[in-house]
Amino acid sequence: MKTTLKMLPLLAGILFFFTQCEKEAELRDTTQMEGILSLKVEEGGCYVVQDLWAGAGQNNTANGTLVGSVSALIEGNTLTVQYLVDVAPWALTEAHLWVGKKIKDIPRNAAPGLFPYSANLNFESSKTFQVDLAALGIQPGQPVYIAAHAVVASGFSGLDGVTAALPSNFDFLVRFFTNATIQPENKGKSYFETTVSNGGFLDGIHQGWCLDSDVLITTNTVQNGTIYSSYGDFAGVFEGLFDFPENLNKINWIINYDFVGKDAGDGLGVYTLGDVQKAMWILLEESPNPNPLGGVGPFSNARIARIVSMANELGYNFVPGCGQFFGIIIVLPGQQTTLIRFPVPCGGSETAWAFGPDTFIKHNIARKWGWIFNLSCPAE
């Protein structure tokens, strides 16, 4: 497979670390309860934020992909609904919105094409509609029922497609947050999370790992850096960063296996974040630092050896396909080189609905998957 190496300038900013790459807790202002996010009231209005799920057939989120969110804000008589797709590589191509006093008033068969608020979009990350509630006969304090439909698409497919689509000469901000509690129960977690904004289809939260045990990320100022695909021509680039750049395929295999939380067998216990992080360093460095400043949390040399052995055997010449992940490498002058994992897109498009406690099937509206959620503000 022929791949091309892409790089782009970036701004890597505000790095907070308690250990090698440690994270301050990330705050969310909403809480999911029984299928609907709790109402938030603030001066001048109230709002909810619902998850936007694509391809969740039979109203089962296990069948779907979380691609973003839909927020609903009431201020006075105005309802503002915003679609936000922030999970790469998805983007909006259509948005359809229905708002009403009663669920049964949804257009026949809940056909999105009959929804009164509609837009065709060109791979946008967001779309906002404003609705005059008084014009719909909805008074302050009355419940507002909302059905938010979208079509999302990736725009490109395969490893070659996403590598070629990496934008050049594009500035964006990267914030690193390391998992504060490095414990075995953090199943599926990475050593830290990277939030990318203003980076086009790269925008969103990505799982990340440290790649250099000898260097810390210590700065809390914005820096210029460079980003690379982990698949491409390594000559003159990765030789200066890693002792064994040829093992990057094995690193890509590891980030697809999701070791953390799995039983290692033979009485060795479950794999931890520390196990995976140290195994990566062994594969990339000739003499990895055995005691990196701050540590990596719990680890076992026996489990580390097993990860390395499996990667050497199964990860040799590994190339991820549709639905798997590949590594994007972030290089910061004077700071530790890191990696984020990014999905290899399958291409095509998916229908999406904002999550809610009511479904079309439940109310005999249509025999299709989809949700309705509601919102009401206290009357003044």
Residue 200 token pair: 């086009």
Phi, psi (deg, nearest 5) at residue 318: -65, 130
- DSSP SS3 for 70: strand
The C-alpha atoms of residue 298 and residue 307 are separated, in whole angstroms, by 15
Count of residues for the chain? 380
Residue 132 token pair: 């005059």
Residues pairing with 195 in the sheet: 175, 205
User: What is the distance of C-alpha 44 from the center of its chain?
Assistant: 31
Distances (CA, A) of 254 to 72, 264, 351: 39, 14, 31
The C-alpha atoms of residue 290 and residue 306 are separated, in whole angstroms, by 17
CA-nearest of 374, 298, 333, 336 to 50 is 374
The reported pTM is 0.59
Say if CB 353 and CB 60 are below 8 A apart. no
pLDDT of 100 reads: 96
Q: Give the DSSP H or E segment for 249.
A: helix 248-257
Phi-psi region of 245 (alpha: psi -120 to 50; beta: other; left: phi over 0): alpha
pLDDT in tens, the chain (380 residues): 333 334 434 333 323 322 333 322 222 222 233 333 344 444 446 889 999 999 999 999 988 889 999 999 999 899 999 999 988 778 899 999 999 999 999 998 999 999 999 999 988 889 999 999 999 999 988 999 999 999 998 877 788 877 777 655 444 445 555 543 444 444 457 777 777 665 667 767 778 888 888 877 665 445 566 778 898 766 677 777 889 999 999 999 999 998 998 999 999 999 998 999 999 999 999 998 888 766 788 899 999 999 999 999 999 999 999 879 999 888 877 778 888 888 888 878 999 999 999 999 999 999 999 999 999 887 76
Phi, psi (deg, nearest 5) at residue 249: -60, -40
pLDDT of 8 reads: 38
The C-alpha atoms of residue 169 and residue 366 are separated, in whole angstroms, by 47
The C-alpha atoms of residue 274 and residue 189 are separated, in whole angstroms, by 11
Segments making up each domain of the chain, as ranges = 7-25+162-343, 32-156+347-375
Phi, psi (deg, nearest 5) at residue 277: -65, -45
CA-nearest of 368, 374, 341 to 356 is 374
Burial class of residue 289 in the structure, from the number of CB atoms within 10 Å of its CB (0-12 exposed, 13-18 middle, 19+ buried) = middle
pLDDT of 348 reads: 82
pLDDT of 177 reads: 52
pLDDT of 62 reads: 86
Q: What percent of the chain is helix, strand and coil (3-state, nearest 5)?
A: 20, 35, 45
pLDDT of 24 reads: 26
Burial class of residue 159 in the structure, from the number of CB atoms within 10 Å of its CB (0-12 exposed, 13-18 middle, 19+ buried) = buried
The C-alpha atoms of residue 341 and residue 188 are separated, in whole angstroms, by 12
Say if CB 173 and CB 18 are below 8 A apart. no
